[in-house]
Amino acid sequence: MAPYTVAQDVGGRSHQEDRYVAEEMERGYFFGVFDGHGGAEVSDMAATIAPQFFSSAFKKRNYRGCLRAMTRQLHETTKMLPSGASMSVVYIPKKGRYAYAAVLGDSPILWHHKKKVCISPDHNIRSNPVEAAAAAARGGQIVNGYLMDPQAGASVGLQMARALGNAALDRVLAREPEIFKFPVSPKKPVIIASDGLLDPGHRVERQAEQIEILYSLARSGGEADVLLQDALSRQTHDNVTVIVYRHAAG
């Protein structure tokens, strides 16, 4: 039996732009959530080729280097496409005690460490003023919670300051992922999701409470479908994708 479950729904949207990867590799598990916007071309492409790029860069224990090389290749492959996507990728060695993650954008990863629920870096300009300031320093303009490029000549806006694709915003977007590791253990599940699981509006006060509720559901045995139903009951009005992974003992 696989140590993970996956659930997905269009939520309040007319079509699904999220794509995901949940794949067992020889020495570990590879997970990815790509939340598409402006179409699913980038999210679809990234989910299809990310495992190949990661595997081709695979070097013993240099997981951070593999994730960085993978992200670089994904950017080179998608940078001329008009649609875009967030990226949250996690690699978990089967016999390891740590997971390794790379994040571009605002698709959350949740885990438990030192008696608290932790969440991955968020590159949404509505909830991260540091990212908003960095985007402005690159020449971006923040209009009603959206990052725009005044030189692009088109009314294209994005909530995120880092993403794949989005050719029209290339000048003002950052493409470097945040790469980090976190501990894993049998009693502490890992959740990888699109932001439709929490609050697509990225209201910090709402997210903090919801993170605790969702992680409590997973820790008490709730699988991906249970977390999905929680999101749908809250009517987040967005595509929802959720992966719940449980690390094996030993």
Residue 80's CATH number: 3.60.40.10
Kindly state whether residue 24 falls inside one of the protein's structural domains. Answer: yes
Kindly state whether residue 180 falls inside one of the protein's structural domains. Answer: yes
Query: pLDDT value at position 246?
Result: 98
Kindly state whether residue 149 falls inside one of the protein's structural domains. Answer: no
**Residue 104 is part of which domain span?**
4-123+160-245
Say if residue 165's pLDDT is above 90.
yes
Say if residue 208's pLDDT is above 80.
yes
Say if residue 89's pLDDT is above 70.
yes
Closest CA to 165 of 17, 22, 9, 56: 17
pTM metric for this prediction = 0.95
- Min mean pLDDT across 11-25, 122-136, 204-218, 232-246 is at 204-218
Q: Is 80 exposed, middle or buried (0-12, 13-18, 19+ CB in 10 A)?
A: exposed
Round to whole Å and give the CA distance between 181 and 66.
13
Q: How many folded domains does the chain comprise?
A: 1
Q: What percent of the chain has pLDDT over 90?
A: 87
Kindly state whether residue 152 falls inside one of the protein's structural domains. Answer: no
